[in-house]
Amino acid sequence: MVGIQVAALAKVFTRPDGGRRAALDGLHLEAAPGELVCLLGPSGCGKTTFLRILNGLEQADGGAVRFLAPRPPRIGHVFQDSRLLPWLTAEENVRFVLDLPREEGRRVARAWLARVGLGDHGGAFPHQLSAGMQQRVAVARALAVDPDVLLLDEPFSALDELTACRLRAELARLWEERRPTVLFVTHDPAEAIYLADRVVILAGPPGRIVQELDVRRSLPRPRTPVDPRLAALAREAVRALEGAGSF
């Protein structure tokens, strides 16, 4: 299992008018091996930028990211939209990321599609699947590499609440089974509390941590979205966001 240490992370973007804007300004964060951390914050506070830097898709302007592992970690990344390749079937989209011989790749891809409830849809192209099903394929693709670290960027925010609810429960199950270290970005307080070991509440931009809520003791697993304790913790998170002037 892989721990993550982020120290003094900074990122400045240049706007089209030449102005400069800090997206992250000295962010510190640690995740223990196998921990599920939710990053909760308002739109534009730098959450996506943070995940992109972690995965090497964006370069930081300062600070450091350390993965505490004996070898470079395998990283799975789920984005807000599914980002499937439209000319490949669901099964081929999953197989595409696997460094495996053809038949073994097919077997692994099928097994993961079955795990996210799409066992009968491996031959479908993305346009033949609903948005929720496409996002399931994206989750299967991220998990198929057996990631040490799983980065999820508002993966369910574009889905209807019922589908999102199902996928959250599936994600919680899969995480308990395989225990990757997870950083899950969201602007939905109830989603953060339902999934997390620890919720890191951000304000910004530039992104800065205003509070952390460790929900392990107050909300044991398995959890249900209708637990009144969950609603109380979500209110606490909303109060922290309010206190930080996030709305």
Ligand X SMILES: Nc1ncnc2c1ncn2[C@@H]1O[C@H](COP(=O)(O)OP(=O)(O)OP(=O)(O)O)[C@@H](O)[C@H]1O
Residues forming contacts to ligand X in the complex (CB under 6 A) are 13, 15, 21, 23, 41, 43-49, 187, 205
Give the side-chain half-sphere CA count within 13 A for 47: 26
Residues 244 and 201 sit within 8 Å (Cβ to Cβ): yes
Work out how close the CB of 206 gets to ligand X at its nearest, in angstroms, rounded to a whole number. 8
Element (H, E) at 53: helix 47-54
The residue among 9 and 45 lying less far from ligand X, judged by its C-beta, is 45
The residue among 113 and 150 lying less far from ligand X, judged by its C-beta, is 150
Work out how close the CB of 55 gets to ligand X at its nearest, in angstroms, rounded to a whole number. 13
Work out how close the CB of 45 gets to ligand X at its nearest, in angstroms, rounded to a whole number. 4
Cα–Cα distance, 168 to 184 (Å, whole number): 11
| DSSP designation for 227 | -
The residue among 189 and 205 lying less far from ligand X, judged by its C-beta, is 205
Cα–Cα distance, 133 to 139 (Å, whole number): 10
The residue among 140 and 196 lying less far from ligand X, judged by its C-beta, is 196
Give the side-chain half-sphere CA count within 13 A for 134: 18
Question: What pairs with residue 208 in β-bridges?
Answer: 203
The residue among 33 and 42 lying less far from ligand X, judged by its C-beta, is 42
Output Rg (C-alpha) for the chain, integer angstroms: 18
Work out how close the CB of 16 gets to ligand X at its nearest, in angstroms, rounded to a whole number. 8
